[in-house]
Structure 1
Amino acid sequence: MSLIAALLMASAATPSAHYTEADFARVAKFDSHFHANVEDPRFLALAKRDRFEVLSINVDYPDFPPLARQAAIARTMRAADPAHFRYATTFSMAGFGTPGWTERTIAQLDQAFARGAIAVKVWKNIGMVAKDASGKRVFLDDPRLDGVMTHLEQRGIPLIAHQAEPKNCWLPLDQMTTDNDREYFKAHPEYYMYLHPEEPSYEALMAARDRFVARHPKLAFDGAHMASLEWSVDELARFFDRYPNTVVDLAARLSNLQVQSNADLAKVRAFFIKYQDRILYGTDLTDSPPDPAARAQNPPATSDFPKEADRVWRADWRYLATPLPQRVDAIGADAKGLNLPRAVIDKIYWGNARRFFHLAG
């Protein structure tokens, strides 16, 4: 064999430092933030084809089915395809502050774990909506939540926490940085804090979340939606440095990142490389029954959910894994891809989630 032939063979056998678009369906991936609100075998077929496992998150959200129905859907989907579908449970804040609430909630959570749930979600209603029996607003650092959180620590169950909203929520519509936030808050004025100056500020909600994380250093904590620090990778880096027990997911916040990477691609790319062990891929894709009267979702609901999920997954892969540009309607501009190294992509899309949620393999 000639030297040239040997070199060509060696080069072909050596994996590239980066993935391409063509690698998308060949690489094992995990969507850490997804909502199944309907039993959908078409989606399970897509997940298998695209090599995705998903974590469906139950959430106490008025626009979603009741919690018992969400749980039943999750168990059915899990039974239909345990290789590709997992789920997180949640709990209701109804009756918070009344005698026995902690014990009842722990019992409900333990029952959910026994039936397959692998994590717990708390939603933005804590801090922005929920009140105790006396009418007092409840924040995440309320000591009356500590019994439940200590139980999760002891059982090694991760907590997924959606606290506050994108910082755009506190800005006038014409000052928001992304159209998807603009459309969502126009459709959900009850959560649009710019219209409610009497409500807690963004800074107050972030401070309550940080006090909670500091008080529970042994609790595995996933800051959903980039921990609501999506507007600044510098702020998120500071959060990571202060709280080593935390990770974040990217769900519904890539457009906020793309605003930043269009301003300084090297800075955003360096952030991902430095914190490659702390970031989980997620989308916030929501599979709900088609409803022409449904209010805007972020990402939006669609009548052909598998097609939309495939489109979102492939667009995100193009942005994270390749250098290729693409049109991003949410920011009204093209965005170049971050072209993250293969080893970083493997962690963000697979390894970090499997470690954080204690999954085998």
Structure 2
Amino acid sequence: MSHAPDPLGSTHPVTTEVPDLRLVDWAPRAQVSLPVTRVARAAASVIDVHNHLGRWLTTDWCAPDVPALLAMMDDAGIEAVVNLDGLWGAELEANLDRYDRAHPGRFLTFCQVDWTLLRRPGGEREIQDQLRDSAARGARGIKVWKNVGLTVTGPDGELVLPDDPRVVGVLALAGELGLPALVHVADPKAFFDPLDVHNERFDELAGQPDWSFADRDHYPTFDELLAAFERLLVATPGTRYIGAHVGCVAEDLDHVERLLRAAPNLVVDIAGRLGELGRQPRRFRRLVERFPDRVLFGTDAYPLSREQLEVHFRFLETDDEYFDYAPGEEIPPQGRWQISGADLPADLLPGLYGDNARRVLGLAER
């Protein structure tokens, strides 16, 4: 025990032993006292344009209890949910039966296509036939995932990028069939950076190292993927696009605005990016003010929960500061930070919550 000098001339004991605490185990509790605004129901009718209700990402249905899901949707003001898990063929039929046909107007299932067919000559024609079949069965759009650009290869073994002529052909057909395309072209920027002391998603990537695309010998750069995405948008002006996760570049809203200006056929959803948008709420508000008809509500929260819905409503509708973007999580999954509300003007909320999605999805106005 030692004694440290005091400004008033006295001394007080100082313990020199510091706990052996790893940074990864540190979970500080904020001492600031801040208001908490609960928003239990959205200010306008909501369409969640980005969610997963099927079996694509899980071994069983992401929404095991559909009546309970509908009751929660009614209580929170959720008019409809877009289900991105339709896939094709029998799996698309199973999703349509379980959701769209059983509960008309409440669910809109998007198909996917089997891009691995591009590995053989003529695969593009097979994919186009698959897309036509899905549209005839009742798919309401097509989901394009990041495997286009990161893992799908052609007959020559080379990666197929989003602006590949074969991809352009398929997505031009989607426009002819009246199917909007929701495209997830890249993961967060940090996933393409080295996994080092400067990577803000180190916690997440250290736990899931296979999520890293930093290996330049095997993957394109983040900027290369975004540039290919922009070329795809420009090459297919007749197709309506939803850029998933704020166009997949939520970290740089200047870039998002450039994309929106370059491609009038593009809108973006906010799904899965509160951790990014909530660190720049005033910049996000300017984006919505400048493009009030081009930003859509989405959560990418599966299974969908009241807690996740309420944190989205709170972010959009209040000026609350420094709150969790992932309620219930001891360690925030995307980064050890909190977010603040964007406090969007009331007149912008109906568009973002539902009206913009109705236009893109071809739904009747409310």
TM, length-normalised to structure 2: 0.77
Render the CA deviation track for 1:218-274: whole Å, top value 9, x for unaligned: 21111111112111111111111121211111111111112223xxx3x33222211
State whether structure 2 residue 297 is matched by structure 1 residue 281.
yes
State whether structure 2 residue 82 is matched by structure 1 residue 55.
yes
Relative distance call for 1:99 and 1:345 in structure 2 (3 A) is same
State whether structure 2 residue 190 is matched by structure 1 residue 168.
yes
Once the 2 structures are TM-superposed, how far is the Cα of residue 70 of structure 1 from its aligned partner? 5.9
Which residue matches 1:28?
45
Structure 2 counterpart of 1:210, from 226, 230, 240 = 230
Relative distance call for 1:310 and 1:175 in structure 2 (3 A) is farther
Relative distance call for 1:135 and 1:197 in structure 2 (3 A) is closer
> Partner of 1:30: helix, strand, or coil?
strand
Which residue matches 1:46?
72
Which residue matches 2:307?
311
The one-letter code sitting in structure 2 at the alignment partner of 1:33 is H
C-alpha distance in 1, partners of 2:290/2:102?
A: 38
The one-letter code sitting in structure 1 at the alignment partner of 2:309 is W
Which residue matches 1:320?
316
Q: Which moved more, 1:309-318 or 1:23-32?
A: 23-32
Greater relative contact order (Cα < 8 A, sep 6+): 1
Which residue matches 2:149?
127
The one-letter code sitting in structure 2 at the alignment partner of 1:46 is M
Q: Percent identity?
A: 27
State whether structure 2 residue 91 is matched by structure 1 residue 69.
yes
C-alpha distance in 1, partners of 2:89/2:310?
A: 31
CA contact (8 A) 2:192 2:212 kept: yes
C-alpha distance in 2, partners of 1:76/1:241?
A: 38
Which residue matches 1:245?
265
Once the 2 structures are TM-superposed, how far is the Cα of residue 22 of structure 1 from its aligned partner? 4.8
Relative distance call for 1:59 and 1:166 in structure 2 (3 A) is farther
The one-letter code sitting in structure 2 at the alignment partner of 1:54 is V
Render the CA deviation track for 1:87-108: whole Å, top value 9, x for unaligned: 1111011221534423322222
Render the CA deviation track for 1:135-177: whole Å, top value 9, x for unaligned: 1211111112233222112222211111021101123354344
**Gap runs ≥5 in structure 1:** 1-19, 61-65, 288-305
Render the CA deviation track for 1:28-62: whole Å, top value 9, x for unaligned: 101100001314322232223222110010277xx
State whether structure 2 residue 291 is matched by structure 1 residue 271.
no
Which residue matches 1:223?
243
Relative distance call for 1:173 and 1:57 in structure 2 (3 A) is farther
C-alpha distance in 1, partners of 2:224/2:47?
A: 32
> Partner of 1:36: helix, strand, or coil?
coil
Relative distance call for 1:74 and 1:312 in structure 2 (3 A) is farther
C-alpha distance in 2, partners of 1:215/1:201?
A: 21
Relative distance call for 1:228 and 1:67 in structure 2 (3 A) is farther
Relative distance call for 1:139 and 1:88 in structure 2 (3 A) is same
CA contact (8 A) 1:189 1:195 kept: no
> Partner of 2:117: helix, strand, or coil?
coil
Relative distance call for 1:151 and 1:334 in structure 2 (3 A) is closer
> Partner of 2:115: helix, strand, or coil?
coil
**Gap runs ≥5 in structure 2:** 1-36, 55-60, 326-331
Which residue matches 1:300?
none
Relative distance call for 1:195 and 1:136 in structure 2 (3 A) is closer
Relative distance call for 1:121 and 1:275 in structure 2 (3 A) is same
TM, length-normalised to structure 1: 0.78
The one-letter code sitting in structure 2 at the alignment partner of 1:153 is G
C-alpha distance in 2, partners of 1:101/1:142?
A: 13
Which residue matches 1:360?
364
CA contact (8 A) 1:249 1:282 kept: yes
Which residue matches 1:291?
none
CA contact (8 A) 1:232 1:260 kept: no
C-alpha distance in 1, partners of 2:94/2:242?
A: 24
C-alpha distance in 2, partners of 1:232/1:100?
A: 38
CA contact (8 A) 1:34 1:283 kept: yes
